Structures are given as structure tokens and as C-alpha cells.
Amino acid sequence: MLRLRAFRPSNDKIVKIELHPTHPWLVTADASDHVSVWNWEHRQVIYELKAGGVDERRLVGAKLEKLAEGESEPKGKPTEAMRGGSVKQVNFYDDDVRFWQLWRNRSAAAEAPSAVNQVTSAFSSPPPSTKGRHFLVICCENKAIFLDLVTMRGRDVPKQDLDNKSLLWQNTTLGTSPSKGGPCTTCLAKTSLGL
């Protein structure tokens, strides 16, 4: 049984919360779009960012990374400098989350036999790029932020790269792009139906 201990209080109301199914991780997003990843066993913050606005620490980190890779002058405004807007959703994504999502779908299908044909047949191994890695997906109004919780490196994907669809994450829709053999980023967004 989980005994929740006191965390550092936020001045704003917590509007989004997600627990990892197997790791002692908890992610929260507050009303001011501040996202925190907690390790509740050690009572410490693993990662923090200002997802709705421009997080200066991430912007500086991205610029330093590009300089280290040999890019002398950045071309245009970096994605990290784009305002995200309000946080709509926070989710973990890794092998464990996919397994439990599939299990939950199969359990629901067993209770509703008419839905059996809509459930994927078997748990398939994730694309090689996700094995052993743990991601946090933060969907904002204008961009999605993918944070690798192992390396603590993030990637921002602007809404226009996802055909300007509302950014709502679905663990079950992450597919593999046949042309590139990796995660299909166009599968990461779905049209919002007033949610």
C-alpha cells in the first residue's frame, strides 16, 4: 500500500497528476503550468520545468547541445523557445506503461465481448529506440515535450509538425513508422473532441 508523504507544496492548484505503474515516480502539473517529476520513495524532485512558457534552463541547454554538435549559428527560433501554452496532459511512456495499458484494454474487452475485435492482438516489443528508456510526455496547447527520464534530455515537437491537431497523448496510438522504423510522431496527436 502506498503511503503518501508530504511533498513540497505548490502555490497553485495541482491540475494534472500521473503515477508510473512500476517505478516510484509521480508527475504533477499545476495551474501555472509548472511540471514536476517526483521520486516518492526518496521524497525528492527528479525534474522540474515550466512547460507552458519558455523554460530558460532548457533553452540554454538546447543551445549548448547544438553548439557541442557543431552547429555554429542556430537557424531560426529553437523549438524550446516557443511558448507551450497551458498543459493539457502528462503521461509516462515506456515498456511497463504499454504492458499495463494493453492489460487494461484486454480486461475491458473481456468484460465487453463486443469490443474484443478492437483490441490489439498481442503485446509487441517496442521499437528499439524505447527499450530500457522511460519517457515523460507533456502535451501543451502549442507543443508536445518528450523528456527522456534516463538521460534527462528533452525534445519539443511543435503543434504544426503534427498537422496542427490538438495535442492529446494516447499510449495506445504510438506506432512504428514503416519508412523510418521508429516512433511515428503523427500518431501522437488526435483531434480533440471537446475534451
pLDDT of residue 1: 54
Q: Name every residue whose Cβ is closer than 8 Å to that of residue 10 and which is 6 or more positions away in sequence.
A: 28, 30, 34, 36
Name the strands in the sheet holding 44-50, side by side, starting at the edge strand that comes first in the sequence.
Answer: 14-19, 25-30, 34-39, 44-50
The DSSP letter of residue 176 is: B
Q: What is the mean pLDDT of residues 115-140?
A: 65
pLDDT at 167: 61
Nearest one of 58, 95, 108 to 78, comparing CA atoms: 58
pLDDT for 190 equals 31
pLDDT for 59 equals: 56
Residues of the chain with pLDDT > 90: what percent? 10
> 149 and 47 in contact (C-beta within 8 Å)?
yes
Q: How confident is the model at residue 17 (pLDDT cuts 50, 70, 90)?
A: very high
* pLDDT value of position 78: 55
The residue ranking higher by pLDDT, 172 or 138, is: 138
What does the pLDDT read at residue 26? 92
Confidence band for 28, pLDDT divided at 50, 70 and 90: very high
pLDDT of residue 27: 93
Q: Distance between CA 183 and CA 80 in Å, rounded?
A: 21
pTM for the model: 0.63
Per-residue pLDDT tens for 59-104?
Answer: 555 656 666 666 665 555 555 556 678 889 999 988 877 777 777 7
Distance CA 123, CA 101 (A): 10
Lowest mean pLDDT among 9-23, 60-74, 176-190: 176-190
The predicted structure's pLDDT at residue 166: 62
**Given a cut of 90, is residue 163 above it in pLDDT?**
no
- CA-to-CA distance for 27 and 52, rounded, in angstroms? 15
Q: Are 92 and 20 in contact (CB under 8 A)?
A: yes
**Residues for the chain: how many in total?**
195
- Tell me what pLDDT residue 112 has: 73
- Higher-confidence residue of 152 and 77: namely 152
Neighbours of 171 (CB within 10 A): 17
What's residue 186's pLDDT? 30
